[in-house]
Amino acid sequence: GENVEQHPSTLSVQEGDSAVIKCTYSDSASNYFPWYKQELGKGPQLIIDIRSNVGEKKDQRIAVTLNKTAKHFSLHITETQPEDSAVYFCAASIFIGNQFYFGTGTSLTVIP
């Protein structure tokens, strides 16, 4: 099955700095990679996703890059704000049942 690794597990940045979270996956059949933000006591919220026919996607301060050859993808948050503090999960989707295999999560803290 698919195995998704995520690094780092914790990340602290100063407000206004950039944050980068990296994930690798093992199954070359995976072709959809969403990122979820989970705030304390809430469910995961889809913030951005990328499909394998695209190398990069941006949405305001958030961007995701994908390197299919190396099987890794990254989340980039620029101009971080305190409200960006949360746990971020990457995921990879395989065909059967649109199952998501989640990374282990990154706890991001933005220091005001």
Partner 1 sequence: DTEVTQTPKHLVMGMTNKKSLKCEQHMGHRAMYWYKQKAKKPPELMFVYSYEKLSINESVPSRFSPECPNSSLLNLHLHALQPEDSALYLCASSQVISQGVEAFFGQGTRLTVV
Residues in contact with partner 1 by the rule CB under 8 A: 31-32, 34, 36, 41-46, 49, 51, 89, 93-100, 102-105
Q: Which is nearer to partner 1, 30 or 74 (CB)?
A: 30
Contacts of 100 (CB under 8 A, 6+ apart): 34, 91, 92, 93
Q: Using CA atoms, how far apart are residues 81 and 67, in angstroms rounded to an integer?
A: 27
Give least dist CB 23 to partner 1, A. 11
For the CB of residue 76, give the shortest distance to partner 1 in the complex, in Å. Answer: 20
Q: Which has the closest alpha carbon to 66: 58, 45, 102, 89?
A: 58
Closest approach of partner 1 to the CB of residue 44, in Å = 5
